[in-house]
Amino acid sequence: MSETTHDGGVALGAAPSPDEGLTAAELAAKYGLSVSGARPALMEYVRQLWGRRHFILAFSQAKLTAQYSQAKLGQLWQVATPLLNAAVYYFIFGVLLKASRGLDRSTYIPFLVTGVFVFTFTQSSVMAGVRAISGNLGLVRALHFPRASLPISFALQQLQQLLFSMIVVFVVTIAFGSYPGLSWLLIVPALVLQFMFNTGLAMILARMGAKTPDLAQLMPFILRTWMYASGVMFSISGMLAGKPEWFIRLMQANPAAVYMDLIRFALIDGYGASHLPPHVWALALFWAVAVFAGGFVYFWKAEERYGRG
């Protein structure tokens, strides 16, 4: 603490103050001022985040609406986009390639469509997560809010997008002869767990992407590799039949595969429990809790550093 510090406001000629001679830190302590931009404790952070829940929801909905606001058909694209996607996959895999990979056709088409949408949910959450901070620096540098609001909000936007896609999934599934039953209710816990997993992953990548924006260029390749390894277009248990048991189990423990298989199992009559790995719900729960909690703490650790340019 040097004298020059007092050059500005503290130095008093006319009105001597009892505060004179105090260092900045002592003065701050005396009047109960706190350090600006310091990272709050974990529980306090959770509380702040909860206080911002309306913002998180409104922001995700606004992003979702803004997406199609320039199109003539407007919000109809929310359903039309996944429907067209499903049609393309049906054309290529169902008509051209006649690829059913050990499943009969009435199972394969809903199997494929479900897989594509459920994987896309994780994929787009990850991509949005990478750019959650680095793509919104203007917001981060202008307003105060717990930064985790951003990746969570983007994951929530993808969840809403997925709910539109699920309408298409239901139509396709019914069209191929699997009718709604009690087992359909299982998609609720499965999607909740997948959403937790996605949010955790989005937070991890948001922190990494904030430091290294180049990740946004790299991620598509990693995600495509992940997609092919997760059995989106084929059944892992069918495709790898004859390979060592531990290898199949390892492939099936992949979180993306776990969530996809759970939802397929819930919806499609021809896709029975024999396709699921043992302890599949425990696996789903483990991935969700571990990645969400880990991702949250990892993101919070750098809270005060986001926005440095």
Partner 1 sequence: MAEQNTAQGAARAGERVPTVIADELHIVYRVNGAKSGKGSATAALSRIVGRGKDDAKRGVRKVHAVRGVSFVAYRGEAIGLIGSNGSGKSTLLRAIAGLLPAEKGKVYTDGQPSLLGVNAALMNDLTGERNVILGGLAMGMSREEIKSRYEEIVDFSGINEKGDFITLPMRTYSSGMAARLRFSIAAAKDHDVLMIDEALATGDRKFQKRSEDRIRELRKEAGTVFLVSHNNKSIRDTCDRVLWLERGELRMDGPTEEVLKEYEKFTGK
Based on the shown chain and the rule CB under 8 A, indicate whether residue 15 belongs to the binding site for partner 1.
Answer: yes
Backbone angles phi and psi of 306, in degrees to 5: -65, 140
Q: How far apart are CA 252 and CA 229, in angstroms?
A: 10
Q: Compute how many residues bind partner 1; rule: CB under 8 A.
A: 53
Contact of 190 with 262, CB cutoff 8 Å: yes
Q: For partner 1, which residue of 138, 242, 244, 278 counts as binding (CB under 8 A)?
A: 138
Based on the shown chain and the rule CB under 8 A, indicate whether residue 305 belongs to the binding site for partner 1.
Answer: yes
Work out how close the CB of 42 gets to partner 1 at its nearest, in angstroms, rounded to a whole number: 18
Task: Give the residue among 133, 121, 146 at the shortest CA–CA distance from 204.
Answer: 133
304 to 96, 149, 212: CA distances (angstroms): 53, 14, 17
Q: For partner 1, which residue of 96, 142, 182, 273 counts as binding (CB under 8 A)?
A: 142
Work out how close the CB of 73 gets to partner 1 at its nearest, in angstroms, rounded to a whole number: 15
Based on the shown chain and the rule CB under 8 A, indicate whether residue 141 belongs to the binding site for partner 1.
Answer: yes
Based on the shown chain and the rule CB under 8 A, indicate whether residue 37 belongs to the binding site for partner 1.
Answer: yes
The tokens 């951003």 sit on which residue?
150
Q: How far apart are CA 130 and CA 254, in angstroms?
A: 21
Task: Give the residue among 142, 136, 166 at the shortest CA–CA distance from 62.
Answer: 136
Based on the shown chain and the rule CB under 8 A, indicate whether residue 77 belongs to the binding site for partner 1.
Answer: no
Based on the shown chain and the rule CB under 8 A, indicate whether residue 28 belongs to the binding site for partner 1.
Answer: yes
Q: How far apart are CA 289 and CA 285, in angstroms?
A: 6
Q: Three-state DSSP class for 214?
A: coil
Site pattern 271..300 for partner 1 (x: CB under 8 A): ------------------------------
Based on the shown chain and the rule CB under 8 A, indicate whether residue 4 belongs to the binding site for partner 1.
Answer: yes
Stretch that binds partner 1, among 54-62, 87-95, 107-115, 117-125 (CB under 8 A): 54-62
Based on the shown chain and the rule CB under 8 A, indicate whether residue 73 belongs to the binding site for partner 1.
Answer: no
Task: Give the residue among 296, 269, 308 at the shortest CA–CA distance from 146.
Answer: 296
Q: For partner 1, which residue of 12, 222, 241, 293 counts as binding (CB under 8 A)?
A: 12
Question: Residue 253: what residue type?
Answer: A
Contact of 227 with 126, CB cutoff 8 Å: no
Nearer to partner 1, 224 or 301 (CB): 301
Residues interacting with partner 1, by CB under 8 A? 4-15, 17, 19, 23-25, 27-28, 31-38, 51-52, 54-55, 58-59, 62-63, 65-66, 69-70, 136, 138-145, 304-305, 307-309
